[in-house]
């Protein structure tokens, strides 16, 4: 018995060291600029029609939180694709977007439950690293799905985060040619997506030479904190002409602050994600726009990538998913819940 225990322990240590070595061989991932990439629309053309997974395949999903519609929608995409192909899926999330240890515990529990592949949407770039290392050592494929990025991960599915901010900045440059003062409401400090979205907006709008970014302040994805932060910025800069928020929840908090200050006609407000409340606010004329990254479609693509990896296909490190700037001019085009119609609209862009 002692010999068996020693042998088992040695095998476990070897597997762990091999998994960590494999992770260390990969350069730190920047999902926006990684050259080993492909577009979501090319999967079938490059890797063939999707083949039915093995009977009994199980995939586990770990999300930031289910209090945010974006992450619920991502899970709907997982479930939709899995159900269509006879795959069992379990989708769990931390209680809040700040519960990093709770999210890690969920991921570690899924690893111990025998799932064939895992889909991680980490709260920060670092908090699920121990789970990634354990999964890699156990030979379980992990796909990092929006929006924080684990630097050591082998596969990532999501949109180009920096381009979110670039698209909004270009709207200001085209629609406010006289320039002016703008502000950014950032997401959680230290999260890849928040930093990239902010950088994309800041770099693009500064390059025009006509705008001044007078404030760039984290609001931790919180609508309430975004309201308070925006109210303070509006008091300090009454001539402000616009806000860019790193997600829609914060953008809707900014809208409330702008309306309370009586500046709805003066101040344009943009968010990111494309949740249903953002679409409703755009229709109502309260929110100027959002950058939709189509979470249900992203979930479907991520599940397909995970299952193709299980089938042994050698996919690129990054599979990029779509995004579009949504304003009153095109809101009805992208508001559809018909994924077939949405795919067609995105491919026709």
Mean pLDDT of the chain: 92
Q: Going by C-beta distance under 8 Å and a sequence separation of 6 or more, which residues neighbour residue 137?
A: 15, 16, 17, 18, 19, 20
Record the pTM.
0.89
Distance CA 59, CA 46 (A): 24
- Residue 148: the pLDDT is 92
- Residue 349: the pLDDT is 75
- Residue 13: the pLDDT is 34
Q: Is the pLDDT of residue 22 over 80?
A: no
Beta strands in the chain, from DSSP E residues, in sequence order: 37-39, 58-65, 88-94, 117-120, 142-145, 155-158, 180-186, 211-218, 242-245, 268-273, 289-292, 318-320, 324-326
Please answer whether residues 197 and 163 qualify as being in contact, where contact means their C-beta atoms are separated by less than 8 angstroms: no
Distance CA 118, CA 135 (A): 8
Pick the more confident residue, 8 or 175: 175
Q: Going by C-beta distance under 8 Å and a sequence separation of 6 or more, which residues neighbour residue 69?
A: 275, 276, 277
Tell me 42's DSSP state: G
Average pLDDT on 10-22 reads: 37
Residue whose pair of structure tokens reads 């995939």 in the numeric block:
59
For the 2-157+296-321 domain, the top CATH level (class) is: alpha beta
Distance CA 269, CA 345 (A): 25
Q: Are 2-157+296-321 and 161-292 the same fold in CATH? A: yes
Q: Is the pLDDT of residue 8 over 50?
A: no
- pLDDT tens per residue across span 303-332: 999 999 999 999 999 999 999 999 999 999
- Residue 214: the pLDDT is 98
- pLDDT tens per residue across span 144-184: 999 899 999 999 999 999 999 999 999 999 999 999 999 99
Q: Report the candidate in 146, 169, 185, 174 with the shortest Cα–Cα distance to residue 305.
A: 146
- Residue 225: the pLDDT is 98
In this structure, of 17-26, 134-143, 287-296, the range with the lowest mean pLDDT score is 17-26
- pLDDT tens per residue across span 71-103: 999 999 999 999 999 999 999 999 998 899 999
Distance CA 342, CA 348 (A): 10
pLDDT grade for 348, boundaries at 50, 70 and 90: confident
- Residue 4: the pLDDT is 32
Please answer whether residues 327 and 171 qualify as being in contact, where contact means their C-beta atoms are separated by less than 8 angstroms: yes
Work out the percent of the chain whose per-residue pLDDT is above 70. 93
Average pLDDT on 281-285 reads: 98
Pick the more confident residue, 8 or 288: 288
pLDDT grade for 190, boundaries at 50, 70 and 90: confident
Task: Give CA torsion, residues 317, 245, 287, 298, to 10 deg.
Answer: 20
Q: Is 162 helix (H, G, I), strand (E, B) or coil?
A: helix
- Architecture of the domain delimited by 161-292: 3-Layer(aba) Sandwich (3.40)
Please answer whether residues 260 and 231 qualify as being in contact, where contact means their C-beta atoms are separated by less than 8 angstroms: yes
- pLDDT tens per residue across span 214-269: 999 999 999 999 999 999 999 999 999 999 999 999 999 999 999 999 999 999 99
Sign of CA dihedral 309, 313, 315, 320: negative
Q: Report the candidate in 347, 172, 193 with the shortest Cα–Cα distance to residue 273.
A: 193
Helix%, strand%, coil% for the chain, nearest 5: 50, 20, 35
- Quote the Cα angle for 324-200-257, to 5°: 80
Domain positions in the chain are: 2-157+296-321, 161-292
Q: Which residues pair with 245 in a beta bridge?
A: 185
Please answer whether residues 105 and 112 qualify as being in contact, where contact means their C-beta atoms are separated by less than 8 angstroms: no
Residue whose pair of structure tokens reads 């002692």 in the numeric block:
2
Residue whose pair of structure tokens reads 């799905």 in the numeric block:
145
Average pLDDT on 271-299 reads: 97
Q: Is 195 helix (H, G, I), strand (E, B) or coil?
A: helix
Average pLDDT on 112-129 reads: 96
- Residue 25: the pLDDT is 79
Q: Is 57 helix (H, G, I), strand (E, B) or coil?
A: coil
């Amino acid at each position: 018995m002692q010999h068996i225990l020693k042998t088992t322990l040695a095998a476990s240590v070897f597997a762990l060291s091999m998994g960590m070595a494999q992770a260390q061989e990969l350069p730190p991932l920047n999902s926006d600029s990684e050259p080993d990439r492909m577009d979501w629309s090319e999967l079938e053309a490059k890797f063939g029609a999707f083949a039915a997974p093995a009977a009994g395949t199980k995939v586990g999903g770990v999300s930031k939180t289910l209090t945010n519609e974006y992450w619920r929608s991502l899970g709907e995409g997982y479930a939709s694709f899995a159900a269509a192909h006879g795959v069992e899926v379990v989708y769990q999330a931390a209680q809040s977007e700040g519960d990093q240890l709770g999210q890690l515990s969920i991921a570690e529990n899924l690893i111990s439950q025998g799932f064939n592949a895992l889909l991680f949407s980490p709260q920060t770039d670092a908090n699920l690293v121990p789970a990634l290392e354990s999964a890699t050592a156990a030979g379980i494929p992990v796909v990092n799905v929006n929006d924080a990025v684990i630097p050591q991960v082998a596969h990532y599915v999501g949109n180009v985060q920096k381009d979110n901010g670039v698209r909004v900045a270009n709207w200001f440059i085209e629609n406010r040619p006289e320039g002016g003062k703008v502000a950014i409401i950032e997401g959680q400090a230290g999260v890849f997506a928040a930093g990239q979205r902010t950088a994309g907006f800041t770099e693009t709008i500064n390059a025009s030479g006509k705008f001044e970014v007078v404030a760039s302040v984290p609001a931790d994805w919180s609508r309430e904190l975004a309201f308070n932060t925006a109210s303070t910025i509006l008091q300090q800069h009454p001539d402000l002409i616009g806000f860019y928020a790193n997600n829609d929840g914060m953008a809707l908090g900014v809208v409330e602050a702008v309306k309370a200050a009586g500046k709805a006609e003066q101040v344009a407000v943009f968010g990111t994600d494309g949740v249903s409340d953002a679409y409703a606010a755009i229709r109502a004329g309260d929110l100027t726009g959002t950058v939709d990254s189509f979470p249900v479609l992203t979930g479907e693509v991520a599940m397909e990538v995970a299952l193709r990896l299980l089938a042994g296909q050698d996919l690129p490190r990054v599979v990029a998913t779509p995004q579009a700037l949504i304003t009153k001019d095109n809101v009805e085009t992208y508001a559809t819940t018909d994924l077939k119609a949405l795919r067609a609209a995105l491919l026709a862009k």
